[in-house]
Structure 1
Amino acid sequence: MTERMSGGCACGRVRFTAEVEPAEAYLCHCRMCQRATGSVSIAFVHAQLDSIKWGHEPDWYDSSPIARRPFCRECGTSLGFAFKEGSDKMDLTVAAFDDPSPFKPKHHFGAESIHRAWLNTEGLPEMRTQDYQKLVDKWVDATGEFPG
């Protein structure tokens, strides 16, 4: 089921709304995405170009001869991937949505570059942010409170 959802960058400068299908999200592991994001993979969801409404136009990086990527030049948030020509869709980053919890991955793309050790991390020790006292203290010292 298609839903109109909103999102944006970390600093709030770039905001968007788009029609997306949360069950159609996927993980991209291709080397271009790894390099562009500095991560082992990135979660994307397809959106029709004409359904995307930018509150503030993002900055764009020509990441290859065939593609470009929207981002915020102020905070560096990666917002998506788009072919330069020939597509009526683009991908938006799942984590940029205000509530990414409805998204479920449907498949992996760029499987030739999957870092398998990062796919199943179940069983690794888990630490909650609020349990790392040094970080909590830094937030309280800087802002007077820990973000909730």
Structure 2
Amino acid sequence: MREAMTGGCQCGRVRYRILIDDRDAYLCHCRMCQRATGGVSIAFKYARKADVTWERAPERYASSPIAVRGFCAACGTPLTYEAHDSEYLDLTVGSFDDPSGFRPTQHSGAESWHEAWLDTTGLPAERTDQNYRLVQRWMDAIGKFPD
């Protein structure tokens, strides 16, 4: 059954609604995605362009001769990868309002992956609200810790 989901950029300027068929997603490790996001990989949801409704469309950057990348010009959030000759696009999983149900089902661009970043389960973990310095910055700035 198709499911409606929403998402957008960090500042809220660019928003979308999408109908998805499943919660499958993938990680892209290619050098272009690494450079476009500043990360070691990016999580994408592959979807039909026709299933996305933009309340406000993202700006698009011609990142290569074969594709554009959608982003918010105000806050810089990466939102899409869109090949010119495809009816599909990739939406960044992190831009969904609730990305928690997505599951990675494959890797792309494996020639560029950084293996040490693939399994980090043994590393120490800290909740954001347990980081005293960060919490104090928020308290000093707005008097509360954001949701």
Deviations 1:57-89 (A, max 9, x none): 1110110000100000100000010002x2111
For residue 94 of structure 1, what is the amino acid of its counterpart? Answer: V
Q: Which moved more, 1:3-12 or 1:14-23?
A: 14-23
Q: Please, what TM-score do these two structures have when normalized by structure 1?
A: 0.96
**What TM-score do the two structures reach when normalised by structure 2?**
0.96
Calculate the aligned-residue CA RMSD, in Å: 1.0
Displacement of 1:24 after TM fit?
A: 2.2
Residue 119 of structure 1 corresponds to 118
Q: Which residue of 2 aligns with 1:46?
A: 46
Q: Give the aligned partner of residue 62 of structure 1.
A: 62
- How many residues were matched structurally? 147
The 4+ residue runs of structure 1 with deviation greater than 6 A are none
- Tell me the SS of whatever aligns to 2:19: strand
| Counterpart AA for 1:111 | A
Q: Equivalent residue for 2:135? A: 136
- Deviation track 1:33-77 (CA, whole Å, cap 9, x = no partner) reads 001110000000111111110011111011000010000010000
Query: Share of identical aligned residues, percent?
Result: 55
Tell me which residue corresponds to 1:31. Answer: 31
- 2:96 pairs with 1:104: no
Assess if the C-alpha contact under 8 Å between 1:18 and 1:51 holds in 2.
yes
Q: Distance in 1 between matches of 2:121 and 2:45?
A: 24
Q: Partners of 1:4 and 1:143 in 2: how far apart? A: 33
Find the counterpart in structure 1 of residue 20 from structure 2: 20
Name the CA distance, whole Å, in 2 between partners of 1:44 and 1:21.
Answer: 14
Shift of 1:21: 3.6
The gaps in structure 1 that reach 5 residues or longer are: none
Query: Which segments of 5 or more consecutive residues in structure 2 lack a partner in the other structure?
Result: none
SS of equivalent residue, structure 1 residue 139: helix
Higher strand share: 2
Structure 2: which amino acid aligns with 1:129? T
Distance 2:40 2:2 in 1: 28
